[in-house]
Amino acid sequence: MTTTVGVTRTSTIDEGGIRDAVFRALDLVGFEPSGPVETVAIKPNLRFYWDYSTGETTDPRVVASVIDYVRERWNTRARIAVVEADASAMRTRHAFPMLHYDRLANEKGVELVNLSDGEVCEKEVAVGRHKFTFPLPRMLFDADLFINCPKFKVGPYASGNALHITCSLKNLFGCISKPRKVGWHPQINEVIAGLNKLIRPHLNVVDGIVALGQRPVKLGLVVAGRDPVAVDSVVARMMRYRPSSVRQIRLAEKEGVGSAHNISVVGEDVKAISKLFPSRSPLAFKLTWSGQLWMLRLYAKLSGDAVPPLLD
């Protein structure tokens, strides 16, 4: 079975250009809901309090365009919520206004929901020989439509000699209701695969307007698809990484989340985009990251201060 991934770009990084790129990417995918769309949850990637111009967090203009698409294509009166959970170093109640999502909510008439509040259900999952129990928001399972809006970026830490990419699969890590998530990092790839077995977004819309590799770069890019493994495989190729070298992609495929094969990429040329992305060397990143952590620990020891929870 062939999976379609839509890739579009805009040369004008403004509200109109981004809206056009999002609409074209979703049209290329050709997704149609299986039933009425009354309730919708949209999950961006909000990391700490960094503005979208850094490439770290999802541009609210991308989310605004997704909201418009839902209302114009499926239900003008759909109840839409933009959702995010607290993290060790971020409180959602602060992140929403600082990252312009309160303005988005007012303009579009949508709700902002902290996934660390509200009803939580404990979900168990096995990934290979590992078993996990996650506290997850019930609303994600009850929504008629769940749309994942991750970032196009290289992950914030290295494991072994491999870089982690932060895209569709990884963005579900932020759905865990428990704020302090660092305890899951030692098995991060298995955790990501497990979460994607439990939570199945209907659509993934990747924000590559400002992508993040060795440095932020304005790509004006939107990537969309139903299968998160396929979407992340295409993103990895645009980052000049082999999808099979990204462990979270391999594990998710092995666990039946999706497929990294038989992908039909429609729209922009993947190879052309890969030449524009400032890729990171896994080994160099590992060395610089280890050095930064060493200096932070030394600082904490000398000053008595705490090491910031950078891995969340």
Question: Position of tokens 């993934």?
Answer: 204
Distance (Å, rounded) from C-alpha 121 to C-alpha 132?
13
Say how far apart CA 175 and CA 291 lie, in whole Å.
30
Q: For the segment 211-232, what is each residue's pLDDT rounded down to a tens digit?
A: 999 999 999 999 999 999 999 9
- 307 secondary structure, DSSP code: P
Percent of the chain with pLDDT over 90: 80
pLDDT band at 156 (very low <50, low <70, confident <90, very high): low
Q: Residues 206, 234, 173, 255: is their CA dihedral positive or negative?
A: positive
Contact 82, 101 (CB under 8 A): yes
Residue 118 identity (one-letter amino acid): G
Q: How confident is the model at residue 48 (pLDDT cuts 50, 70, 90)?
A: confident
pLDDT score, position 306: 52
Lowest mean pLDDT among 9-23, 149-163, 220-234, 237-251: 149-163
Tokens of 36: 């009425």
User: What pTM, to 2 d.p., does this model score?
Assistant: 0.89
Distances (CA, A) of 291 to 285, 286, 296, 298, 308: 10, 9, 9, 11, 15
- The phi, psi pair for 305, rounded to 5°, reads -80, 170
**CATH topology classification for 3-279:** Rossmann fold (3.40.50)
Nearest of 198, 269, 261 to residue 3 by alpha carbon = 261
CA–CA dist 130, 28 (Å, integer) = 37
Q: What is the mean predicted confidence (pLDDT) over 34-42?
A: 97
Gap between the Cα atoms of 208 and 225, Å rounded: 14
What pLDDT sits at residue 158? 44
